[in-house]
Structure 1
Amino acid sequence: MWLYLYFPMLQLEGMTKQTVSGDFVTPVVIIDGRKNQIVQLNDAAQQRGIKIGMGLGTACALCTQLHVLPYDDLLERQQLLEIANTLYQVSADIVIDEPNGLVLKVDSMLSLYHDLPSYWQVISGQLAQLGKSYYYGMGESTIMAKLLAREHCNALMLTQCQKRHYLGKIGLTRTSLDSRVVELLARTGVKNVAQLEQFSLSELAKRFDTELVHYVGCLFGKLKETLNYYQPVETFELTAPLLYEVEVMAWLEKPIEHLLSRLALFLQQRNLVTRTLYFTLALRDKEALEITLNSAEPEYKAANWQRLLNLKLESITLDAPVQSVSLKADALEAQHATIKDLFSTQQSAMSAQGLRAILCAKLGEQAVQGLQLTGDPRPEKASTYSHEPRFTTLKSKLRPTILFPKPQPLCERVNIISGPERIASGWWDGEPVQRDYFIVQNEQAQRLWVFREQNNHWYIHGVFS
């Protein structure tokens, strides 16, 4: 058994997700320019008397404030793939029937869900989360299920009488048969799909060509269909089409929020994370604006990516209106659980990598530097600045919080707390040092890091907090 899902409003509903509800008070239609016919419309347009299949001139005569959008098969296919990707989490065998249909093999899933109502409950729940309108039909072949779905059957189980009733309402012109074959059948009195069942395949083969024999055989499950099953993609790529051109960056918040939420769901279902996102803003009469967003830590949560993106967008100005927003994430990696000790003393709301990612998004990659350990024993050369520091935790000896750029002469009385610690190094680069370091405390109870040179001169090199 096969379940066919027919989505008649994919492109328009995809745009609904990117806009606020008030935008759809205006009548909106999507027109197929090749046929000059309306293929999708919203409720406001329907209330004005506009119907599917109507010409653009007639629709404009009924509504002068009509908002017209061109049909985009690529956007519709992208919406369909998104639905297939979601349903693949709960149903194994899926066939994509472009531009607006999906076929699900039911038999192989009943062993998991026990019965058909339970299986349908899971499928309909997934579709409800996506917010897509659809019709469905079920039959012993993908062709029959498709015909029933496009007839708005919306039934899982049909008796033979009910099935014959629905098929009897479907004219042969609505099938994929060639017009020449339809005309030949009409001459014999066959005008709807139900009437095809009265012929045996051998009888059809004597009177018609192999196209009709194969179609009827597949329609009633007598011949095996050749199907290409859907394979989920390993990368995320989605475009948010805009109902209106946007000139203010703040107005892109809704479509970007939708893209990030879909990305978060995609990654969460696969237990994946990513460090880099690529946004593309399609501009009118200009080259597309490319925005690369980097996170120092692998991330999947939409809220965290949204915070980084908001900081990045503050420094970007638009040279032309935005027509669509695309998001791509292809460098995906497995998510590893982070185990934290409940009694650890190093607990903070944000990691060092997270803080660096925020600063880079706000100020730019080149403006943010971190300390990088060099391994040199000399304190003044033990670290340097780096644009890509490696965050490491070292168990080293006690060092002061503040290190002076240049050591200062010690000119006060102090008490030694600990020491000495001898550092003798630098002979290889012509800047040798030989010092004995001490931790001392002065009369103001400050703890200082001091050293004594070979000539018995004392210097302050740092202060403990």
Structure 2
Amino acid sequence: MLWAYFHCYQLTLDTYVSQQSASPCPVPTVVYNEKNNAVVQLNPPAKDTGLDVGFGLAQTAALCPHVNILTYRAEAERDTLISLAHRLYPLASDIVLEDTNSLAIRLDNLVQYYGSYEVLWSTLTHEISLSGIHYNYATAWGIEAARLLAKNHHNKVSIQTADIRESLSTCALSQTELDSKAITSLAKVGITQVGQLLSMPVHELGRRFTNDTIRYLTALRGETFPTRQVFRPSDTFEKTTALSFEVENTQHLQPYLNIQLETLSHYLRARNLTTSAIEFRISFREVSPLRLAVNAALPTTALKDWLELAVLKTERLALPAPAISLTLTCCEFEPTAGDNGDLFSNRFTTLAQKQLIGRLKAKLGDTSTQQPLMGNSHAFEKMCTYDVQHATETYQFDAAPTFLFSQPKPLTQGSKICFGPLRLQTLWWEEEAQPRDYFIAQTLQGRRLLVFKDHHKRWWMQGIYS
């Protein structure tokens, strides 16, 4: 297996920056954890003033009196992480949420759909970058190993086992999740790095550590894979945003409305759904939440349409108290209509085939489109034709490929046989009549080909299945 681990180390700060009109945020800003009395996140302007992670509130205020302080909320970061998982789910199925600020994605079972690890990685990271989230990352054979590398700022995609093992060997034991007692015991015998630990025999580990420690170490070595709860998207949409300040005027709510509606639009388009009813819930400190239902005349996903309706709904609204959070909920969905007028920007897949062909012919001419049809022959060379007119009665054969080559091509790529053999004898009155043994082969990338072996025992490609 191969897992990618993304450690989103400043979710609160990234959420705050995305809500501001200016980017990046020019004001020194820190995220303060009241429970530990420590700064846990800060932006570059705050670092320039001498602040750092771990500073207390008094020390922070003394070094930078005009610093902007945000309160750390684990629940808010968890909600942001879930929103990111919803965004990545159409691209990757096996997603595991870790803590409140990290997620792991399994890669090895997706590469057959993307063609290569490079394309898969580019697709995932591009989607994360669109959300404006900063992260450290790593890949390894298991989540535990990938987590250790990511939290050590490895920031490298490693596919080979030898490369992963070499990267892990340089990590210190103090950076692992071993308890202090186990680290102290290992240090007494001269083991201070993960590489030394990975080379120890299993029976030696069993003598020295508890069962919990053994389970972690075997998972780190890639010998066991603990069961994880895989993320599954909810049937309804709900997004809560903690406001950066107490909002007293509804005009100041518009940037937050825009962010939430943009997330909803992405959610609907990824699932090929529309909606005609949404609800906003504005929360206050001491007043009951205010609920606002917004309805559209027709089901839609367009951000512009929903934003206009939301602004009209809230522009004359008087808030009973300063607002502290905003929640968008959508529970009623409808499938996308097949007569959608936009062919490419919305990228809906339910557009009728005949409607698409009709528009192409109207734009490019009656002979611009071709339709693959079955020909009236049992030989594969004449079994598939491309007709620009009307379909006629054809010879049906289940093993026929979608596309046939005009001439057979030598089979040069690695593949395995999935079906066959099927022997066909070409017509005796044709030139070079000979029997052929046909097979269906699958390449290492998952593509299926129609291949045959001639009487000289040479392998050829005849067509491709879609």
Q: Same fold (TM over 0.5)?
A: yes
Which protein has the larger Cα radius of gyration, Structure 1 or Structure 2?
Answer: 1
Q: How far, CA to CA, are the matches of 1:163 and 1:54 in structure 2?
A: 34
Q: Which residue of 1 aligns with 2:293?
A: 292
> For each residue in 1:429-451, what CA deviation from the matched residue of structure 2 results, as whole angstroms up to 9, or x when unmatched?
xxxxxxxxxxxxxxxxxxxxxxx
Q: How far, CA to CA, are the matches of 1:50 and 1:305 in structure 2?
A: 41
For residue 235 of structure 1, report the CA deviation from its aligned partner. 1.2
Q: Is the 8 A contact 1:143 1:219 kept in 2?
A: yes
Give the aligned residue type for 1:213.
I
1:93-108 matches, cutoff 5 A: 93-108=94-109
For residue 54 of structure 1, report the CA deviation from its aligned partner. 2.1
Q: Which residue of 2 aligns with 1:85?
A: 86
Give the aligned residue type for 1:80.
L
Q: Is the 8 A contact 2:5 2:102 kept in 1?
A: yes
**Given the alignment of the two structures, is residue 313 of structure 1 paired with residue 327 of structure 2, yes or no?**
no
For residue 182 of structure 1, report the CA deviation from its aligned partner. 2.3
Gaps of 5+ in 2: 342-466
Q: Is the 8 A contact 2:5 2:104 kept in 1?
A: yes
Distance 1:59 1:169, change over 3 A: farther
Q: Which residue of 2 aligns with 1:265?
A: 266
Q: How far, CA to CA, are the matches of 1:91 and 1:23 in structure 2?
A: 30
Q: How far, CA to CA, are the matches of 2:245 and 2:18 in structure 1?
A: 13
Secondary structure in 1 matching 2:110: helix
1:181-192 matches, cutoff 5 A: 181-192=182-193
Q: Which residue of 2 aligns with 1:176?
A: 177
Q: Is the 8 A contact 1:204 1:212 kept in 2?
A: no
Distance 1:164 1:222, change over 3 A: closer
For residue 189 of structure 1, report the CA deviation from its aligned partner. 2.3
Distance 1:51 1:165, change over 3 A: farther
Q: Percent identity?
A: 29
Give the aligned residue type for 2:174.
T
Distance 1:208 1:295, change over 3 A: same
Tell me how many residue pairs correspond in the alignment. Answer: 340
Q: Is the 8 A contact 1:151 1:166 kept in 2?
A: no
Give the aligned residue type for 1:311.
L
1:238-249 matches, cutoff 5 A: 238-249=239-250
Q: How far, CA to CA, are the matches of 1:18 and 1:167 in structure 2?
A: 38
For residue 34 of structure 1, report the CA deviation from its aligned partner. 1.7
1:128-277 matches, cutoff 5 A: 128-157=129-158, 163=164, 166-277=167-278
For residue 239 of structure 1, report the CA deviation from its aligned partner. 1.7
1:327-346 matches, cutoff 5 A: 327-338=328-339
Give the aligned residue type for 2:306.
W
Distance 1:339 1:187, change over 3 A: closer
For residue 302 of structure 1, report the CA deviation from its aligned partner. 1.5
For residue 159 of structure 1, report the CA deviation from its aligned partner. 6.9
Distance 1:165 1:62, change over 3 A: farther
Give the aligned residue type for 1:274.
T
Distance 1:65 1:265, change over 3 A: same
TM-score by length of 1: 0.69
For residue 260 of structure 1, report the CA deviation from its aligned partner. 0.5
For residue 167 of structure 1, report the CA deviation from its aligned partner. 3.2
Give the aligned residue type for 2:123.
V
Distance 1:218 1:42, change over 3 A: same
Q: How far, CA to CA, are the matches of 2:111 and 2:234 in structure 1?
A: 25
Distance 1:12 1:339, change over 3 A: closer
Q: How far, CA to CA, are the matches of 1:309 and 1:211 in structure 2?
A: 52
For residue 245 of structure 1, report the CA deviation from its aligned partner. 2.1
Q: How far, CA to CA, are the matches of 2:133 and 2:340 in structure 1?
A: 39
Once structures 1 and 2 are overlaid, which stretch shifts more, 298-307 or 139-148? 298-307
> For each residue in 1:243-272, what CA deviation from the matched residue of structure 2 results, as whole angstroms up to 9, or x when unmatched?
222222112111111110110110111111
Q: How far, CA to CA, are the matches of 1:240 and 1:18 in structure 2?
A: 10
Give the aligned residue type for 1:113.
Y
Secondary structure in 2 matching 1:223: coil
Q: How far, CA to CA, are the matches of 1:123 and 1:294 in structure 2?
A: 34
Q: How far, CA to CA, are the matches of 1:243 and 1:339 in structure 2?
A: 38
Once structures 1 and 2 are overlaid, which stretch shifts more, 16-25 or 59-68? 16-25
Q: How far, CA to CA, are the matches of 1:124 and 1:23 in structure 2?
A: 20
Q: Is the 8 A contact 1:19 1:242 kept in 2?
A: no
Distance 1:102 1:128, change over 3 A: same
> For each residue in 1:34-76, what CA deviation from the matched residue of structure 2 results, as whole angstroms up to 9, or x when unmatched?
2111111122211111112222222111101122222111110
Distance 1:286 1:260, change over 3 A: same
Q: How far, CA to CA, are the matches of 2:165 and 2:141 in structure 1?
A: 13
Q: How far, CA to CA, are the matches of 2:322 and 2:63 in structure 1?
A: 30
Secondary structure in 2 matching 1:29: strand
Q: Which residue of 2 aligns with 1:61?
A: 62
Q: Which residue of 1 aligns with 2:396?
A: none
Q: Which residue of 2 aligns with 1:15?
A: 16
Q: How far, CA to CA, are the matches of 1:42 and 1:274 in structure 2?
A: 38
Q: How far, CA to CA, are the matches of 2:42 and 2:287 in structure 1?
A: 29
For residue 188 of structure 1, report the CA deviation from its aligned partner. 2.4
